[in-house]
Amino acid sequence: MVENNLRLILDEIKQGNPYGEKVTLVGATKFVPVDVINRAISAGLKDVSENRAQEFKEKYPLVTQPVNYHFIGSLQKNKVKYLIGKCYLIHSVDSLALLDEISRQAVNKGACQDVLLEVNMGVEEQKHGFDLSELESALSYAQTVNGVKVLGLMAMLPESDNQEFLFDLAKKLRSVYDNLKEKYGFKYLSLGMSNDYALCVKAGSNMIRVGSKIFGKRY
């Protein structure tokens, strides 16, 4: 079941996106038991992610297969310590205060933490992320901070049945990404979940976070 779901999605994205970039599948493993995560990794999943720091802390040592373990959820400053030195990529940096705390903890541990800045697309009642107008100054600030490297952007599309609306939003984010890519050395645009990853990849996402379509509905 999990193995089959995984195979279908990996097959779907194996051509990459229209920009000629490889698309990384990040399994969203919230509420997924560790034995199932280990099985998915054996079946070819190379990246997994949690959205709660506590769950990351508990499951990280038990996932024994080699994998890149990401963090994708909203992160409180007092939980940053659970991630540094373990987490491959933190997708959800949504404030300069959080960036500062990641920097402080990383420098303490002699580590460098790769992160993405979460973008608020300005639709619905989205609470997290930088507004588009704040991005450039956040990025230039990040360049002055030790122990953290911003490798790109992350966003969540709103829930909608209007595929054209969602595709346009995804395209808009890709053009924001392209405008900043060279200057800031971006590698990743993390956009797309079970319901919308196909259109996101078509619009230029190169990292998708998929949970229920691999592991089934569990919430």
Ligand X SMILES: *Cc1c(COP(=O)(O)O)cnc(C)c1O
> Binding residues for ligand X, per CB under 6 A?
28, 30, 51, 72-73, 193-195, 209-213
User: What does the block give as tokens for 7?
Assistant: 């195979």
Nearer to ligand X, 106 or 116 (CB): 116
Q: Tell me whether residue 104 or residue 118 sits nearer to ligand X (CB atom).
A: 118
For ligand X, the closer of residues 27 and 204 by Cβ is 27
Let me know if 118 is exposed, middle or buried by CB neighbors in 10 A (0-12, 13-18, 19+): buried
Residue number with CB closer to ligand X (9 or 142): 9
Query: In which residue are the tokens 């460098």 written?
Result: 112
Q: Which two tokens stand for residue 218?
A: 């569990």
Q: How far is the CB of 30 from ligand X (least distance, A)?
A: 5
CB of 209 vs ligand X, minimal distance in Å? 4
In the complex, least distance from residue 195 CB atom to ligand X, rounded to whole angstroms: 6
Which residue, 104 or 154, is less far from ligand X as judged by CB? 154
**Shortest Cβ distance from residue 108 to ligand X (Å)?**
27
- In the bound state, the residue with its beta carbon closest to ligand X is 211
Our CB check for ligand X shows the closer of 104 and 156 to be: 156
How far apart are CB 146 and ligand X at their closest, in Å?
27
What's the closest the beta carbon of residue 138 comes to ligand X, in angstroms?
Answer: 19
